[in-house]
Structure 1
Amino acid sequence: MKTQTMQSFGMNKELQKKEARELFNNLETPLLKYGQGIQVLLKELDLNQVIAKVNEEERMTIEAPQGVIIRSIQELNQEELETYTSLISATENKFLALHFAILDDWKIIIIPRDMTVKGPIIITSHISKKAKAESIIVIAEVNAKAEIIERSSSTEEAYYKSQTVQIFAKENAHIMFSSIQELSPETYNFVIKRGKVEANANITWLDATLGSKYTHLRVQTHLTSLHANTENYSLYFNQGKQIFDLNTESLHKTRQTNSNMLCKGVITENARTIYQGRILIEKDSKNCKAKQKSENLLIDEHARCDAVPILEVENDEVQCSHGATIGKLNEENIFYFTARGIEENIAKQMIIAGFLEPIINKFPTEEIQEHIRKNITERITK
């Protein structure tokens, strides 16, 4: 069903949308439940409204250095469609069925063989009204290297955004995909990112989740060949009544593959975060190395965080670690600063900024790093 649906898009866009719409009508809304007492209830979200509010006018824009190839979905042949739309399917759940039912904005980025892209590829996505779905496919050919920066924003009139990202890193390819999400606090945000990593290749995911009313973010990487590697670094800062539902997964499909996941976040006011980090190492995937850690900082009394580390290892010949911490501002650290003449509010700001800095430093350009720091500073001082 998945391949048929994706092929239909290339051949007949309206047929693809019709099939996805039928799936949407027949599928139940997923229960966003992650264990005893851990559940998200989206009582105000009306998925049927989304279809009636589709905005097909606005498009993502891409600024790419010379040599990078940008294609449309219609330019893919049948074999390419089967290969490069294989990681995500409309049949998986109601959210994805809705995504493909309203999808009208595809961007395909190809990094040619042996090319090292000079300078970042910039993707800009802005929604000024209604609802929108967009899909990004990145194909990194053998020995290709590139940094991609994706920035998302919206106005208060934007109700719903849905995005899928699929990255295919072929042998010895290296891709860094950075996302800075600054949607309006009135926008629902659903994002599915998946990557397939071949021999000696690497995908690095970087996420700064700052905006939206509700964010449903899923990042999953398939390590399919010897010495495949992935890194996943994410930060978040939520405030008001924002809800962030975050999930990262590394799937070790073969031996001698490596993964590292680190998430650091700050929760303030009445906001809530759920973070799940999952490592799966299959039975024959020996001599793998995998790390997963989340560090979460609660600033206010009513802020809430649920951290769920998951480790599934089907053989003993691996090196794995996982863990999660949820804490509050350290009073001793605050006292250290105030004893040296620094006001308490300033001391708290410095501690929070320093807490997130290890992730900020991993973003690829100084301009982006400074932009994230400024956003966080504004939130801290609000």
Structure 2
Amino acid sequence: MSLVRHLRYRRINSLLRKYPDPTLPLRDLTVAREVATATGGFDFPFVNVISLEFALFKTYAIPSISKILSATKQFATQCPKRADDTSLILCEMTETYKRQAYRHMTEGKEDLDEDLTDEKRERLALEKLNFIHGHYPIRQEDYLYTLALFVLEPVSWIDRLEWRQVTELEKNALLGAWTFHGQNMKIENIPKTFDELAQWSQNYERENMVYAPSNVAIAQATTSFLLSKSPKALHPFGRHIVSSLLTDRLRTAFAIPNPPRGLTTFIFGIFKLRRFFIQYLLLPRRTPNIRTALRANDEGKFVPRWNKYAPVYPDGYHIEDLGPDKFLGKCPVSLKNVQLPTLMANNNDDKAVVV
């Protein structure tokens, strides 16, 4: 057991020695991506995926967000596709370093042409996301809150449920990586430290996370989708499990009743057993968890490496075609003509920006 524990901590200990300044990821995007890959791709892949799904779910408790989502009718008519499109766009944006590291580890050499394609895929996914969002009246503070959750929720879930705590280096890596994306989405006033972002998020929730019928509609549709693979007889219990993972404020905003007494303790007890098993009995991953394809297929499409639910794109997808059907064929950029940005230092905040 001591050997497994030693191997478990070897990766993060190596990074802490390599980067003794925990603020470096805030100034170096490559370091931020390397460290974030270790956190979400190697050490905590399962909880990382759950935390990001929950981050999106949490935004539905904001009426200004849920009203826009409800008006699109996608959750009522195309919930599986909407969920997969969102997941794949975000993965295309965030798995660049993971794909490059995976190919290098498994093939024993770098593929510079494919590395360049990875960068283009990331940029194209960002352009497509901006294209979609540009058609809706989304508030700046709602953009920032969503970005904040992509930083804060993985840390919160990992600290509560996983076999070790998140280090300051890793927190800054998440903030640095998502700040880069936020700047390219023209999100304003992104806090410069993890603690400042957490405080801003708490203040935002106190003011904006309140009950609305649109919250309930989106939450119910999403919960039904999450439970779609389980037998219908278990759906009531599944809804209790969802409730047990929510805060009181979230339950109020979604009009979700409290879970049965003792269920939350039971659920977290299971995670404690899982924590012990992973820390002392399960050898660490040798390659990062990746959802997006390492390369395009013969048709130029990217076939997801795994699907949590029923596959929406079993034959693959073009990144520019992800998203609502009404935007199909209307994205102004594709993998052939997407332009990679020039990175330069911002003299005001010393972070990488795109020009």
**How high is the TM-score relative to the length of structure 2?**
0.24
Bigger fraction of residues in helix? 2
Whose RCO is larger (CA < 8 A, sep 6+)? Answer: 2
**How high is the TM-score relative to the length of structure 1?**
0.23
